[in-house]
Amino acid sequence: MSSAPPREWRADALVAALWWVGAVGVAFFLAGGGLTTSSPVDYLYALGRVAGIVAAVLVLNQILLISRVPWIERTLGHDRAAATHSLMGKVAFIAMLAHAALILIMTAHYDGRSVFAAIPAMWDLGWYMVAAQAALGLFTVVVVTSLLIVRRRWRYENWHTVHLLVYIAIILVVPHQFIEGSTFRSMGPAWWFWLVLYVVTVGCWLAFRVAKPLVYARRYAPVVSSVTTHGDGSTSVVVAGRGLGRLGAHPGQFMLWRFLAKGYWREAHPFSLSKAPGDSLRISVGPSGDFSRSLASLPVGTKVLFEGPLGVFTQRSRTRPGAVFVAGGIGVTPLLAMLEEPGGGPIDVILRASSLERAPLRDEVHAAAAARGATVHEFFGPRGEGWSSAAEPATLGGLVAGLGDRDVFICGPVAWADAVEADAVAAGVAPEAIHRERFGW
């Protein structure tokens, strides 16, 4: 059993350090005479440059956070890394708009022309300014499609494809920073700071998002060994290979899977392990989208690329003697794998599903619970005011004695999991003893 608070402190320190990198970038700008002005209005131009520096740092931080760097994943956990990635993206886009607006307005002021006339005039500076303006347009498309109101109407596959435009935008925007930015022309400390920042960030992305999956494919030779459709509508896919037990995966973790078959290979999706890992790996997926439904027809023998294992939603995060596993629908998968893992302390399992027939892997849960000596509580039917069913209102405190001595692991739809977490907090469960695996994208 590990102590969660130190990891939380390390996570907070890492997030703070990422924000402070922006301050370092601004400090180099100031040290290079960035605030040298001839009139008060020049400070607006300087502010525009500062906004550009902050935007560049935050975009690089975003790439680093989704690079699957092992020590970042272990420190933050995939959920917090993704949440920080999203927050920095919003701030970065605001900074980009401020940078573009202030530089454009001040350039028009210095040249004695209108703002609209200044836009094409910037093209005369070189191709890199045209590329930078195109990059801003691409960033705008990505941000707009990332808004919750838009994402709810989009299939994950469409949103993910558009999101890849970020990489093109970064390639387009970098040249103007090094060629036009006066901070970089002298090739002094600031130039090296930015060069190292770009090399480390892009290097991590290439190493862990591109090279590592290819190395794993060669080392483990993973292939689909069986595909099973269950009566509840879910599908289980078993992946076999050479020495997969050496991968070091833990029950509760997830991986990003890319199946190299026609109609599947273009997309990588995150799925949790639904069985304690060993010489094979199993995932179980509910029929919630086009891709997940199509897995029932995935050919046996298909080669597989994967990233991971990822996430800190494991029993290694436990801080209390006992545990409560709370699962909503297909969210039972990581908890089932954890239930199969040997360990001490009392465990209660709470299953929530729309109906008995649609409860994923229910028989396996009961078998694993019986072997572990765990107690299972089930709630079926339409949801009530809280997390339980309308027919059987319940609270965690009312179901589980001594809840304060338990870790609470929650996995299921975001809104439902929010209700479970609120109930746990109301019952006096300490924040460090509440663990979640989020299914939202």
Q: What is the mean pLDDT of residues 72-87?
A: 85
Q: Which amino acid is at 21?
A: V
Domain ends where: 170, 193, 211?
Answer: 211
Strands 347-353 and 322-328: parallel
231, part of any domain: yes
pLDDT at 185: 60
pLDDT at 157: 65
pLDDT, tens digit (0-9, with 9 covering 90-100), for 238-283: 999 999 999 999 999 999 999 999 989 988 888 999 999 999 999 9
pLDDT at 317: 86
Prediction pTM value: 0.80
The answer to whether residues 362 and 340 touch, using CB atoms and an 8 Å cutoff, is: no
Strands 280-285 and 235-240: antiparallel
pLDDT at 2: 46
**pLDDT averaged over every residue in the chain:** 87
The proportion of the chain whose per-residue pLDDT surpasses 90, expressed as a percent, equals 49
202 with 341, same domain? no
216, part of any domain: no
Strands 322-328 and 280-285: unpaired
Q: What is the mean pLDDT of residues 32-53?
A: 83
Domain ends where: 164, 180, 211?
Answer: 211
CATH number at residue 350: 3.40.50.80
Find the range with the poorest average confidence among 182-191, 330-339, 415-424. 182-191
The answer to whether residues 29 and 181 touch, using CB atoms and an 8 Å cutoff, is: no
141 with 191, same domain? yes
Domain ends where: 193, 211, 229?
Answer: 211
The residues that bridge with 379 in the sheet, in sequence order, are: 352
304 with 320, same domain? no
Q: What is the mean pLDDT of residues 85-103?
A: 91
182, part of any domain: yes
416, part of any domain: yes
- Categorize the per-residue pLDDT at 102 as very low, low, confident or very high, splitting at 50, 70 and 90: very high
13 with 134, same domain? yes
Report whether pLDDT(288) > 90: no
pLDDT at 154: 65
Three-state SS at 176? helix
Strands 322-328 and 304-310: unpaired
286 with 325, same domain? no
197 with 53, same domain? yes
The answer to whether residues 275 and 340 touch, using CB atoms and an 8 Å cutoff, is: yes
249 with 368, same domain? no
103 with 194, same domain? yes
167 with 263, same domain? no
Tell me the CA distances in angstroms from 397 to 348, 408, 437, one per residue in order.
12, 11, 21
The answer to whether residues 335 and 327 touch, using CB atoms and an 8 Å cutoff, is: yes
Tell me the CA distances in angstroms from 342 to 141, 182, 314, one per residue in order.
48, 60, 12
- Categorize the per-residue pLDDT at 184 as very low, low, confident or very high, splitting at 50, 70 and 90: low
Q: Which domain holds residue 206?
A: 4-211
Q: Which two tokens stand for residue 153?
A: 């109407």
pLDDT at 208: 94
CATH number at residue 271: 2.40.30.10
Overall number of domains in the chain: 3
348 with 275, same domain? no
- Categorize the per-residue pLDDT at 4 as very low, low, confident or very high, splitting at 50, 70 and 90: very low
Report whether pLDDT(28) > 50: yes
List Cβ<8 Å contacts ≥24 apart for 363-366.
Answer: 364/336, 365/332, 365/336, 365/339
30, part of any domain: yes
Rounded-to-integer distance, Cα 271 and Cα 282, Å: 10
167, part of any domain: yes
23 with 147, same domain? yes
260 with 298, same domain? yes
